[in-house]
Amino acid sequence: MNKTIQLQDLGNKDYKETWEYQEELFKGIVDLKIKNRREELNLETPNYFLFVEHPHVYTLGKSGDLSNLLLSEKQLETKGATFYKINRGGDITYHGPGQIVGYPIIDLENFFTDIHKYLRFLEESIILTLQEYGLECGRSDGETGVWLGAGTPFARKICAMGVRASRWVTMHGFALNVNADLGYFDNIIPCGIRGKAVTTLNVELGVERVNEEEVKEKILRHFADLFESKFE
């Protein structure tokens, strides 16, 4: 089992280009697994972890409701945003500058074959990171992602998650609001959940800006610990 994960920071990159790149890496792993089974080989499958920041974009998961996007095509253009229907789980979400997006494209057979556990570990890597900043956060019953004030009238989401998995290979991942412009969330019903707010790390800490590279380092450390893996 290969527990080494290749880390790639793509910087600021178009959503569609990144999605196509994810699909390419994903297909490479799946094809290798099929080859292993057909030819009775035991070739090692690679694992990847992509960090990226996207220009303003809204994405709708395969089970999502288009009515949760509150903008017309023309209004999207005015705001300099794009929109895509994609093949992850979940409803609608926003990506943009000031947000840390992580896409683990890993073969879970290198770690454990349990999608529920995978999602909980993804959430836990973010929860542990935010706790280092002194924030009390956690999960909200029946809703993926990471929340502050879950179960109270002041519940607010700080990290959205949506994944796809096939043959135990994952893609898509999480979007953590660090220094994001919250105004862009006003144009959607985030994740299809009405009446719940969205927040960012810098707002919660009451600072103008949080060091995003520092946040990434913390996420990777906790991810590596949880998955008993190492990055290269």
- Which domains are assigned to the chain? 4-225 (3.30.930.10)
- 191 catalytic? Reply is yes
Whether residue 161 is annotated as binding a ligand: the answer is yes
> In which residue are the tokens 């005015």 written?
78
Whether 21 has a pLDDT exceeding 70, the answer reads yes
> In which residue are the tokens 């910087």 written?
11
Whether residue 180 is annotated as binding a ligand: the answer is no
Predicted pLDDT of residue 107: 98
Q: Cβ contacts of residue 138 below 8 Å, gap of 6+?
A: 127, 146, 147, 150
Predicted pLDDT of residue 60: 87
Q: How far apart are CA 121 and CA 117, in angstroms?
A: 6
What is the pLDDT of the chain when averaged over all its residues? 93
Whether residue 90 is annotated as binding a ligand: the answer is yes
Predicted pLDDT of residue 208: 97
Q: What average pLDDT does this structure show over 122-141?
A: 96
Q: What average pLDDT does this structure show over 146-164?
A: 92
Q: What average pLDDT does this structure show over 213-229?
A: 98
Whether 213 has a pLDDT exceeding 90, the answer reads yes
Minimum mean pLDDT among 77-81, 139-143, 149-153: which range?
A: 139-143
Q: Which two tokens stand for residue 39?
A: 């030819």
Of 103, 143, 97, 110, which is closest to residue 43 (Cα–Cα)? Answer: 110
Q: How far apart are CA 194 and CA 20, in angstroms?
A: 31
For residue 81, give Cα distances in angstroms to 15, 127, 134, 182.
11, 29, 33, 14
Predicted pLDDT of residue 122: 97
**pLDDT (tens digit, 9 = 90+) per residue, 162-209?**
899 999 999 999 999 999 999 998 888 765 555 578 999 999 999 999
pTM of the complete model:
0.93
Which of the following is catalytic: 100, 148, 178, 191?
Answer: 191
Whether residue 91 is annotated as binding a ligand: the answer is yes
